[in-house]
Copies of this chain bind each other. A is one copy, B any other.
Amino acid sequence: MHTTTTSSVNLKEILAQVQAFVETELYPLEAEARGKSWNQILPQLEEKRRRVKELGLWTPQIPVEWGGLGLSVWEFGQVSAVLGQSPYGHYVFNCQAPDAGNMEILIEFGTPMQQERFLKPLLAGEIRSCFAMTEPEHAGSNPVFMSTTAVKSGGDYIIDGHKWFTSSADGAAFAIVMAMTAPAHENKYQRASQIIVPLDNQGFKLIRNIPVMGEAGEGWASHGEVRFENCRVPQEFLLGEEGAGFAIAQTRLGPGRIHHCMRWNGICERAFDLMCRYAVSRELSPGVPLATKQTIQNWIAESRAEINAARLMVLDAAQKIDEHGQYGARVEISVIKFFCANVLQNVLDRAIQVHGALGITEDTLLSFWYRHERGARIYDGADEVHKSRVAREILKGYGMKKLGK
């Protein structure tokens, strides 16, 4: 049960505005963008961003004092599900990963200097950023198993390391980098720190945009493999305390996960809509639409059920975060992370199957999402990792102490 708040009176209007914007401004853009690269479509996206600012809908997830709409997680969840209906939604409203996560931790942990130099232009949409954590040599599921180091030298840190899946590194103005500052610290959760690295640094190299499911992409729509070699940054670019890298990452990942889930729900709704439209219009023989087949009907009903489940669970988790903070909602966050990622894959798979050969072409959005969201069950914690975490948290309540990893 959700208590009515003042802002939620307003929410209905915001949702209606956002829905209208997505349908009238972004859907047409999708067709135009087909076959074009990120940079080719960027001018039009920047134009849309200006429109969003004019409408007063910019950075809806950000506190009012920083220029956003100040929506709660529960409120933003609903906005995000609308934005997710188009691949351009979040970017155009400046609430896209990885920037949104970086905004959050810069607001919470940044020094005034850092906020002035990095946060403000990010909030304004003037620059982009990235977050460099995962390393190809180490399993991402083990966040304390890492090789990148940051060693003090004079007033600087010298960073050396190899990262990948540094999303949107291509063209980003700065990265927030996880690096070992005390690799031998007895508490393994205090070995790493987060350091801001402007990417015009000579010690930084974008090795490649990794081809993900066949597509390397570019600009914001890319996933970088990067290298830091003798990369010097002033110590004042340390984010938060030294040794707090893991703790800040946790702070960042919790909301990051629910933001993904919200966005996936939007994708699901769009795929569901495409599936229904096609089912009633595609004819198996003259006058007999696909929708007359019981198998298609089953898929529509099962998809509706799963999407409803995903939506309600995300909103429920959002409400828990609003009330108890993200640590208090950690079980719910892990539950939705794996549940919603699987719903997403199921719904996209069914929508493609309904479309037949058309479904595997680029003539709908389904193929794009099918490819690009296969990672949903992997990034920010694989299904398996979240399932074990959920079980261990629950079993603690049954008296379990040690449950292995």
Among the 9-residue stretches A59-67, A172-180, A189-197, A295-303, the one with 4 or more Cβ atoms under 8 Å from chain B is A295-303
Other-chain residue from B301, B399, B403 in contact with A391 (beta carbon distance below 8 A)? B301
Residue of B nearest to A343 (CB): B309
Partner of A284, one of B1, B4, B141: B141
Instruction: Name the distance in Å between A394's Cβ and chain B's nearest Cβ.
Output: 6
CB pair B297 A335 closer than 8 Å: no
With contacts A214-B367, A353-B377, A367-B213 taken as known, whether A136 is within 8 angstroms of B358 at the C-beta atoms is yes
Binds B, one of A49-57, A234-242, A381-389: A381-389
Closest to A316 in B: B312
Does A392 have its Cβ within 8 Å of any Cβ on chain B? yes
Known contacts: A136-B358, A277-B398, A384-B293. The answer to whether A301 contacts B335 by CB under 8 A is: yes
Task: Give the contacting residue for A301; candidates B293, B310, B390; CB below 8 A.
Answer: B390
For window 74-117 of A, CB contacts with B under 8 Å fall at: none
The SS class assigned to the A binding surface is helix
Is A158 an interface residue when CB atoms closer than 8 A count as contact? no
Please, how many angstroms separate the alpha-carbon atoms of A61 and B360 in the complex?
A: 30
Q: Chain A 361-405 against B: per-residue CB contact (8 Å), 1 yes, 0 no?
A: 110000110110011011100111011111110110111100111
CB of A28 within 8 Å of the partner chain: no
Taking the complex as formed, is A280 at the interface, i.e. its CB lies under 8 A from any CB of chain B? Answer: yes
Q: Which residue of B lies closest to A402 (CB)?
A: B292
| Residue A220 at the chain B interface, CB threshold 8 Å | no
Q: Interface range on chain A: under 10, 10 to 19, 20 to 34, or 35 or more?
A: 35 or more
The answer to whether A142 and B285 have CB atoms under 8 Å apart is yes
CB-CB under 8 A from A141, the residues of chain B are 284, 356
Chain B residues, CB < 8 A from A294: 293-295, 384, 388
Expressed in whole angstroms, the Cα–Cα distance for A292 and B401 within the complex equals 11
A374-B370, A377-B353, A378-B359 given as contacts; is B297 within 8 A of A388 (CB)?
yes
A325 within 8 A of B: no
Q: Contacts of A4 on B, CB cut-off 8 Å? A: 1, 3-4
Q: List 25 A-B contacts (CB under 8 A).
A: A35-B211, A136-B358, A139-B283, A211-B361, A213-B213, A213-B370, A279-B395, A280-B400, A292-B404, A295-B295, A295-B384, A297-B390, A297-B391, A297-B395, A298-B384, A300-B394, A300-B395, A301-B390, A301-B391, A301-B394, A305-B336, A308-B313, A356-B382, A357-B378, A357-B379
